[in-house]
Amino acid sequence: MTVTNKLKKAIEDKALSNNLRGQLAVALRMIPERISKVLACDYSEHVLWIVDSVRPNIEYPLSTNQLRNYINGSGTIQEVIELRSQALQLRHKLTKNDATGYIALKALWTLVLAIRVCAQRELEHLAVVVKENRQTTTMDVAHQASLAVARYTAGVNWNSPNAKQKELARKKVPRLLYLKHNGK
């Protein structure tokens, strides 16, 4: 049975028929590792624009190009380390106390997760990062990207202390985007 047929059979499974998140998780487990890494880059690339839109005054050279080059064999681990360093430096510029910074931070975090998906073991081997028991997956990047879009769509009141403002902000967002975040 081909991967395509296995994937189709898994998605048509009645247990997953109403569970889009489950279908995506199954699909991501069935595809080859290299394609999974490229998808992680795609998920991140699709939300990095949020950083620009909520914080246009912050200049940064971030994109997934260095990571994509590394996956294709034309880039080096040093370029990935530099990209990671730039992302973490920008992370410190975006304050969590500022609501727009928090929205941008969620989008930026997708890049950090994509780096983990694509080069975590190599970074651990070089002692750039601490070894983790659980490998970050493309599903983690997809979840973080959907959460970044949800927060961007809802605006600054996503985590408002005012319950009414928070409720109105979250009603702007399709519920599917933040189910996991709410634990439901």
pLDDT of the residue at 180? 45
Whether residue 130 sits in one domain with residue 71: yes
Whether residue 21 sits in one domain with residue 82: no
Number of domains in the chain: 2
Whether residue 61 sits in one domain with residue 26: no
Task: With beta carbons less than 8 A apart as the criterion, state whether 45 and 64 touch.
Answer: yes
pLDDT of the residue at 29? 78
SS3 state at 39: helix
CA atoms within 13 A on the CB side of 179: 8
**Residue written as tokens 């070894």?**
131
Whether residue 75 sits in one domain with residue 161: yes
Whether residue 54 sits in one domain with residue 21: no
pLDDT of the residue at 19? 65
pLDDT of the residue at 184? 41
Dihedral sign computed on CA atoms, order 59, 63, 66, 67: positive
Spell out the residues 6+ positions from residue 24 whose beta carbon is closer than 8 angstroms to its own: 139, 142
Whether residue 38 sits in one domain with residue 17: no
SS3 state at 49: helix
Task: With beta carbons less than 8 A apart as the criterion, state whether 141 and 113 touch.
Answer: yes
Q: Which domain range does residue 15 map to?
A: 1-31
Spell out the residues 6+ positions from residue 88 whose beta carbon is closer than 8 angstroms to its own: 112
Helix axes 65-72, 99-125, angle to 10 degrees: 20
Spell out the residues 6+ positions from residue 145 whose beta carbon is closer than 8 angstroms to its own: 43, 44, 46, 47, 107, 110
Structure token digits, residue 143: 């979840």
Whether residue 53 sits in one domain with residue 140: yes
Sites in the chain below the pLDDT cut of 70: 1, 3, 6-7, 10-11, 13-21, 56, 58-61, 95-97, 158, 173-184
pLDDT of the residue at 69? 94
pLDDT of the residue at 61? 63
Whether residue 42 sits in one domain with residue 27: no
**Distance from C-alpha of 8 to C-alpha of 2, rounded to nearest angstrom:** 10
Whether residue 48 sits in one domain with residue 24: no
**Distance from C-alpha of 38 to C-alpha of 44, rounded to nearest angstrom:** 10
Whether residue 143 sits in one domain with residue 75: yes
**Distance from C-alpha of 48 to C-alpha of 145, rounded to nearest angstrom:** 9
SS3 state at 168: helix
Whether residue 137 sits in one domain with residue 164: yes
pLDDT of the residue at 175? 57
Whether residue 21 sits in one domain with residue 60: no
Report which of 112, 108, 95, 115 is spatially closest to residue 50, judged by C-alpha positions: 108
Task: With beta carbons less than 8 A apart as the criterion, state whether 80 and 91 touch.
Answer: no
